[in-house]
Structure 1
């Protein structure tokens, strides 16, 4: 599919990717969205907390929104699209990944960039239990990688899934990990690592046979965290094996659902491999848009409806 030309023009001060990223993550607020929580049981007897919001009138359409690393369903980049879609007649279910809803999950393993079974469980719940005939998926950052990998894996995708949108996605995890460890991203890397290690300190109380304080103390970087915890807890040999198996880049060629991928060229989290021009040109179902500006999930517009949210709504209207 031809590469899409972006029309995104940010306010002047938000042309800077760092400022756009920080503002969107720490300053933005989305008001007026009422969410109702539902807990579902996963196929392995863990749980997921889903936060629902609804259109004014009964709808047969729902959008599943997936957050990024150490996010949750109340982050503005999640509630923003939920509110916009509700206003346009589409229900929204914002997924909290395992351990991200304010309560630790039941097992030592939790969530990671390639864990697609939980998304599959949510999709089936929306179709089989809730009765939606039109399902859309919007994944942001880590959630975007899960979305793309899910759509491209060797699994039967329900016909009710009409289209998908993925935003600021590290489709090449090793390349993105290398970018996150560069000085330009030091503040972000420190913040991510602190949240992850704090959660691991909770895990050690319940699972003292799985990990030691010495191992936790050895975690100095995000990659260390993936070596010590993510890879071992989820059946990978090491961090590199986790990155290679979980990267969605290799699955893009198999996607058969109309999918829009928006990655900003000034997103400091993304390596050159995270702009899959070749894959988009060879897959009629993959639409790639690469705005010059936007940072990481920072597509700011003046009316607090972000460009990526507006584009997501425009995109799904073509696939009802």
Structure 2
């Protein structure tokens, strides 16, 4: 009976992989020994965690069996320090064209002295940075993989104590800072292959950036996790009044956002923006900050226009590099209804992984809980830089 239950439960935790047909799948590399290797070939031969019938499942930790529990647990341990997340960084500051500043936290590892070694650029979600537990776990896994990645975390304006030098904040669809960072890393490492890995809001920015770049994109490939392809759908979901939003997600995000606003209070404000400072400073919801601050400073006519302009769903069809998106079907922050499933069946360059469980940035399996995501991310990133 126990054995039967395990098999039954494992079957219910099997992931779903969606991509174009084997015949139309895009070629990702062509070598003398392998011939033409397509995205389909690469996934089914080099990413067993996604395609091997015995391994292609995300079985949640028994006491974290729902998306809600996965999300809460992951949020509460965001500052956890353990051996899987033990990393250190060297910081590099980049000043943008408008005077704003972002930071690049390079993972330090004395063994990575090869200037041609592939580089992974990692980006967190709203309010997140190189300090988040899940970011540090992924950074360490990539750095210690057989591919020998050099890893750098892109920190948005005002996050991880990055100096605030411009009144222009980052937002859910602002790609210019990341674009400048890619150009900078590419210029300093002309012979290295670059891979993007991003989470939540950062995933939306990465997706939008790759689509905007189209055939000009210099990334060898990318992986996104919990991407809010339709920002309006996600914003409505996180604005709902429920236990997760009221007591976990919104407070965590707003603490970071408000600290950044307070740190930038010395900057001059354009009277034409007509900002309601009292309303912004007393905000308890991210949507209020977006409506009263981001929409006005960034020149959108309304918050709905901002959501439409920020959404990466409009750019998925234009992606021309190997691209893997991982989303959970029980994610309450980036609901499944916002995922453009059909686009993954028609664009030959992209693939979508849907897990029945995982919540938002959880994907916790085993006892004690460990992050399942590291294996597929390392597999895919390693495959695209071959």
TM-score by length of 2: 0.77
1:25 CA displacement: 2.3
| 1:226-248 deviations in Å (ceiling 9; x for gaps) | 11011112221221111100100
Cα separation, 2, equivalents of 1:313 and 1:306: 12
2:138 pairs, out of 68, 72, 81, with 81
| 1:202-252 deviations in Å (ceiling 9; x for gaps) | 434433555453342563532221110111122212211111001001110
Which stretch shows the higher mean deviation, 190-199 or 172-181?
190-199
Indicate the structure (1 or 2) with the bigger Cα radius of gyration.
2
| 1:60-94 deviations in Å (ceiling 9; x for gaps) | 21100001111111111211111001101101101
Tell me which residue corresponds to 1:151: 210
Instruction: Tell me whether 1:40 sits opposite 2:100 in the alignment.
Output: no
C-alpha RMSD of the superposition: 2.2
Which stretch shows the higher mean deviation, 201-210 or 17-26?
201-210
Dislocated runs of 4+, deviation >6 Å:
none
Tell me which residue corresponds to 1:278: 342
Q: Is the 8 A contact 2:105 2:154 kept in 1?
A: yes
Q: Secondary structure at the match of 1:43?
A: coil
Unmatched segments (≥5 aa) in structure 2: 1-18, 22-49
1:54 CA displacement: 4.3
Q: Secondary structure at the match of 2:233?
A: helix
Change (3 A) 1:207 1:74: same
Cα separation, 1, equivalents of 2:381 and 2:266: 45
Q: Secondary structure at the match of 1:289?
A: strand
Count of residues paired in the alignment: 319
| 1:81-123 deviations in Å (ceiling 9; x for gaps) | 1100110110110111001121442111121111111111111
Unmatched segments (≥5 aa) in structure 1: none
Q: Secondary structure at the match of 2:216?
A: coil
Q: Is the 8 A contact 2:20 2:347 kept in 1?
A: no
Q: Is the 8 A contact 1:219 1:228 kept in 2?
A: no
Q: Is the 8 A contact 1:218 1:224 kept in 2?
A: no
Change (3 A) 1:200 1:67: same
TM-score by length of 1: 0.92
| 1:164-203 deviations in Å (ceiling 9; x for gaps) | 0000111111111111122332222233234323433443
Cα separation, 1, equivalents of 2:156 and 2:98: 14
